[in-house]
Structures are given as C-alpha cells and as structure tokens.
C-alpha cells in the first residue's frame, strides 16, 4: 500500500534502540569518545589501518530500515544537516574529483563523465576518455550512487571507493597508473597538506579513494525531490498525472525490478527478461555480454545491474549502451521486453510524468558552499570540461560522513543483529583512521594497549557478524518470498555486511604471533571467497523473484495485445521462477559461511 500523500509520516531515521535522528549527534559523540584517537604518521599501526579501511562503513542501501515505509516497495532517502560534514575531507574529495592529472594526458577528470549539469552523467552515448579514446558503455549516473548495492553495469566494484579507483587505470578512461598518480599528488604543492588534515598516513591510494567516494556521497545524493518529499508525507508534491503514472508503474510490474530506496540499483536483471531485446532491436555485440563477463556463466548473458531511477529524466541517453535517446522510448521498450506489455501512449506519458518527479528540484547550492570551495588545481583542471558542474548538494542532501554506524546498525538491531553496538564500533574504527591529527587529540603509539584492545574487540565483533550472516541472509530471502518485504535492499545489505567483515578479518591484530596471524588470514580468505560466491546465488534468487512478480501480474491482468502470443504460459513461467527461487534458498542454506566463520572464531580463541 502506498502512503496517503496528505498524511504526515513520522521521522523514520530511528536507531534500533529508539534513538531518533534528532539525537543522532549525541549518540555518535558518545561512541566516538570511547575510541576516537589520532596517530602520529610514524606511529600508526599499518595492520590496524588496513583492518579499518577494509571494514569501511555499512552500505547506505540499508538506510531507513525502520522507517514507517521500510518494508514497502519504496522508502525515502534520509536528509541530513550540512553541519555534520567533514569539511576538510569534502574539499579534498572535490579537488580529486575534478583533478585532470588523474588521467595520463591531463585531459579528463571524474567530473568529465559525471557532471551535475547532466544528471551525474555526461549526456553522451559513450564517454570519451584520455587520448580521445571512446568507451564501450554509457556512463552511469553518480547521483545517489552511494545507495546502489554495487557500482558499474556489471557490479564489479562493491563500494564507491573501489569504483573511484577503477577509471584511473582503465585504458578506455584515464589510462593512468596508480603509482604514478600518487607521485604526482605527493609532489604537488598542496595535496600533501590537504591529505594530512584528514589522514594520519597522508597520501595513499586508499585515502584518495576514500576522499573521492566521500565527495560523491555528499555532493551527489538527492534527498529533496518531489517523490521523496511525497514519501515523507508532504502534501502537493506530485501532480495528478505523476500519481496516475506511479499507479500504472506499479500495476504493470515496473517495480518488480525498480524498487527500494533507489528505485533500482539493488539487483541484476536480464535485458529482455520476458523475451529477447536484441533479436528485435539489433544484434547483440561484445559490449552487450553483461554480467557473464565476470561470472562466466551463460545464464548471465545480457544481464546488467538495474539502474536507479532517481533523476532518470536528466540522464539521457538510456540503457547500458546509450542507444535510446528519450525517456518515453525507454519506457516503451522496457514495458515490451521486460514486462511483456504494449503500453499505450497515455501509459507512457503518465509513467514519464512520475519518473520526472524523481528529479526536478534544481541544485540548491553546492555542498562546497558550506565547506569552502576547493583549491585552484581541482577547479582549473576541470572547469572547462564541467568542473564546476561536478555536482550539487541538494537542499536536503546526505552527509556522507554520517553513513557509518547508521544504516547497518539500525538494520541489524531490527532483526536480532549487533545493532547499535556494531554500528558504533564500526564507525569508530573507520573514523580513527580518517581523523585529522590535532593537538588536542592524544597521540597513540602502536604498542598502546588501548589501541590493541580496540583492534581485538573489533576483530571479535567482525567474527560474530560473519557467523550470524547466513541466517540473516536466509531471513531476508524468506521475507521477500513471503511478501513481507517488497524490495531487495535489505538482502543486498546483509550480503555487503558479510563481505566487508570478511575483508576486514584478513587483517588480524598485529600483536599476535606471526604463525597465528597467518592461520587467521588464510581462514579469512576462505571466508571471503565463500562470501563473494554468494553474489551469484543472490543474483539468481532476485532475478527469479522479479520475474515471478511480473508473471503474477500477467496472470492477474493478461496482455491482450500483439505480445500475447509471445509471452507463453504465464502460469508455467511463474512456477519455473518460483522453483529457481526455492533452489537458491537451498543453495544459501548449504553455504559454508557459518562453518568457516566458526572455525575462524575457534582459531582466534586459541590465540587468547
């Protein structure tokens, strides 16, 4: 059931322990006080740093897990205050995002392909990289990218940090070398000081990625669109046509794939899942291989990450290849090949009106206005190619520094996880490594027992989270299957939680004996491999669930147009997809995750 547009909903950002968003700062200050320390650059424990960088922060796709609309098809993106920003990190991220020297010929920066003026894209069918080389796929939007479950069309980057590094060495994009880029930044007159304000260890690949990702999360998040305001209960946000289009969007099955906080960005689906897209429109080429290029599974051919629909009206041309120039044509072709529907022109126009409500508010002053504009190199390097267009923080945009400890902690608490404890400790771990070294903060040496105790505590928490992961994944799969949850966000969130904890567990505390650390690292690597392999189980499960919903719509309201004969037996196809989903549940149950994490816990206990 969709919310009454005239009903004011309660503020949804509520900690699992009952802490509301208005009390968030006080709660985080308490958690930070327990663990927030700074390190002199020459005394920083590199193993602890590696652990915290690998752990990162809970994925934003789990945000608003206890909102009144949490289990509905859609829920709003939360709003934050600019006062919560880390101004130094934001300025550094701004400079790096607009830094053309990241490309081998100094011709392009991140903003060249991801401009706020073009909805976080570049308006091209495919982008032009260093040395004038053309890419193979359409540039995805950076708007709300932090809420996707993965990055790139084939999902090869799990985090925005990984995504930030990918283009630098890609021969079709920046065609540079990370080692050479680091040398450029270290020799620069300003970057070393900028990095030192934020990161105790200064200029590094991980810190560069972190700063760029932070800038993207802050500057490219839209939380004040008409649709989001409508979800928060504000009256008069959607036109009658947009409301009608929203209803039709749901009725024909678009929300089978485009659901969750980002209206997409939470699953892989096949291009032409009802019947082949390529046979009718054009022959498939090597750039259309999709997820199969990573998975090497034949059933992943033409499978791509479902894009977010926030701001979609501004991101033409459409699809992975940029082959469709208008929003209306994209709606028509998706209706035909994904849903088996020949949509009327009225349907298309109404749905387009709804999709336009997912953008529409002009950028209300850059986030840099609050933090102070970035320095000259970042601006001059990218100005002519859209440098100042690199994104605008919406009036109610996201404070990226607040992501840790919020989205994950709340969702875990709701479903019996570590909740506030995990959220706070994970955030503290991340903030320790990214905090600026200031005079009022204590300097902690590698041998400091409090610092060592923190690493051991965080390591034990990561083992505990990994051990509980499989049951949480199974719970979320069953909640989708039963209809309790009408989107895919929380399942993907639990998988991302497992991955980040498994990654961090590869870095056991440095005070352990070398042979024990080697054993723990090897076991953690097995755990991570098993966690990564679940990507395909979850992918197949969500594809089956999405198609089950589409087929159910066909049974309830059969297509009577020219496509009727091409759809086949909808009941049989529904049963087929339900069987696939059931098999994926069985496969998840058989996963060795719990066994591997239990063995890791036993190994760790033997060291104590």
The answer to whether the beta carbons of residues 595 and 466 sit under 8 Å apart is: no
Q: Which of 372-377's residues contact partners 24+ apart within 8 Å by CB, and which partners?
A: 372/87, 372/91, 373/91, 373/94, 374/91, 374/94, 374/95, 374/98, 375/91, 375/95, 375/190, 375/194, 377/95, 377/99, 377/101, 377/188, 377/190
Residue 336 designated active-site: no
- For 429, other C-beta atoms within 10 Å of its C-beta total 26
Rounded to whole angstroms, the Cα distance separating 198 from 213 reads: 14
> First and final CA of the chain: distance in angstroms?
52
What is the DSSP-derived secondary structure letter of residue 506? T
CA 103 to chain centre: 25
Rounded to whole angstroms, the Cα distance separating 608 from 603 reads: 9
Residue reference for tokens 């650390």: 517
Burial class (CB in 10 A: 0-12, 13-18, 19+), 227: buried
- Tokens for 348, please give them: 């298309």
Angle between helices 570-589 and 514-556 (to 10 degrees): 160
Question: What residues contact residue 4 under an 8 Å CB cut-off, 6+ apart?
Answer: none
SS3 content of the chain, % helix, strand, coil (to 5): 55, 5, 40
Angle at 117 between CA 116 and CA 120, to 5 degrees: 40
What is the radius of gyration, based on Cα positions, of the chain?
24
Q: Is 209 helix (H, G, I), strand (E, B) or coil?
A: helix
- Tokens for 530, please give them: 């098993």
- Tokens for 132, please give them: 């004038």
- For 575, other C-beta atoms within 10 Å of its C-beta total 13
The answer to whether the beta carbons of residues 361 and 355 sit under 8 Å apart is: no
Determine which one of 99, 128, 173, 332 is catalytic: 173
Burial class (CB in 10 A: 0-12, 13-18, 19+), 565: exposed
The answer to whether the beta carbons of residues 413 and 10 sit under 8 Å apart is: no
Q: Which residues are part of the catalytic machinery? A: 173
């Amino acid at each position: 059931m969709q919310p009454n547009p005239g009903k004011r909903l309660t503020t949804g950002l509520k900690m699992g322990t009952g802490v509301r968003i208005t009390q968030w700062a006080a709660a985080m200050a308490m958690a930070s006080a327990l663990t927030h320390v700074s390190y002199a650059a020459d005394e920083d424990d590199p193993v602890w740093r590696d652990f915290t960088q690998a752990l990162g922060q809970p994925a934003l796709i789990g945000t608003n897990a206890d909102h009144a609309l949490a289990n509905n098809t859609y829920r709003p993106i939360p709003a934050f205050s600019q006062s919560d920003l880390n101004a130094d990190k934001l300025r550094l991220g701004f400079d790096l995002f607009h830094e053309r020297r990241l490309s081998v010929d100094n011709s392009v920066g991140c903003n060249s392909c991801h401009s706020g003026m073009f909805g976080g894209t570049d308006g091209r069918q495919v982008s032009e990289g260093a040395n004038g080389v053309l890419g193979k796929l359409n540039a995805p939007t950076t708007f709300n990218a932090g809420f996707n479950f993965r990055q790139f069309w084939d999902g090869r980057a799990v985090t925005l940090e990984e995504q930030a590094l990918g283009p630098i060495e890609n021969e079709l994009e920046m065609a540079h070398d990370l080692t050479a880029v680091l040398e450029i930044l270290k020799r620069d007159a300003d970057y070393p000081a900028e990095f030192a304000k934020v990161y105790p260890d200064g200029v590094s690949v991980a810190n560069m990625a972190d700063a760029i990702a932070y800038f993207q999360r802050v500057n490219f998040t839209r939380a004040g669109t008409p649709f989001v305001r409508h979800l928060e209960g504000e009256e008069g946000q959607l036109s009658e046509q947009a409301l009608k289009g929203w209803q039709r969007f749901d009725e024909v099955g678009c929300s089978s794939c485009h659901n969750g906080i980002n209206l997409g960005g939470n699953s892989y689906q096949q291009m032409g899942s009802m019947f082949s897209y390529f046979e009718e429109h054009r022959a498939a080429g090597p750039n259309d291989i999709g997820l199969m290029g990573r998975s090497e599974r034949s059933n992943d051919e033409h499978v791509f990450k479902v894009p977010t629909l926030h701001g979609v009206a501004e991101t033409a041309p459409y699809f992975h290849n940029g082959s469709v120039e208008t929003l209306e044509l994209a709606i028509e072709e998706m209706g035909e090949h994904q849903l088996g529907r020949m949509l009327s022109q009225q349907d298309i126009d109404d749905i387009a009106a709804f999709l336009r409500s997912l953008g529409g508010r002009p950028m209300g002053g850059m986030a840099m206005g609050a933090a102070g504009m970035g320095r000259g190199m970042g601006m001059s390097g990218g100005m002519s190619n859209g440098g100042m267009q690199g994104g605008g923080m919406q009036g109610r945009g996201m404070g990226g520094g607040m992501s840790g400890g919020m989205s994950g902690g709340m969702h875990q608490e709701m479903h019996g996880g570590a909740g506030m404890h995990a959220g706070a400790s994970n955030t503290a771990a991340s903030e320790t490594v990214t905090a600026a070294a200031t005079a009022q903060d204590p300097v902690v040496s590698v041998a400091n027992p409090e610092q060592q105790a923190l690493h051991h505590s965080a390591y034990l928490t990561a083992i505990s989270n990994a051990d509980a992961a499989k049951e949480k994944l199974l719970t979320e799969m069953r909640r989708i299957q039963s209809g309790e949850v009408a989107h895919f966000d929380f399942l993907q969130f639990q998988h991302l939680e497992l991955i980040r904890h498994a990654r961090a567990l590869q870095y056991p505390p440095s005070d352990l004996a070398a042979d024990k650390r080697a054993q723990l690292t090897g076991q953690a690597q097995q755990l991570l491999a098993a966690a990564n392999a679940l990507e395909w189980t979850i992918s197949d499960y969500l594809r089956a669930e999405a198609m089950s919903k589409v087929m159910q719509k066909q049974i309830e309201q059969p297509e009577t147009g020219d496509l009727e004969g091409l759809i086949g037996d909808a009941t049989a196809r529904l049963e087929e997809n339900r069987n696939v989903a059931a098999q994926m549940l069985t496969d998840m149950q058989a996963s060795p995750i719990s066994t591997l994490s239990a063995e890791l816990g036993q190994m760790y206990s033997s060291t104590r």
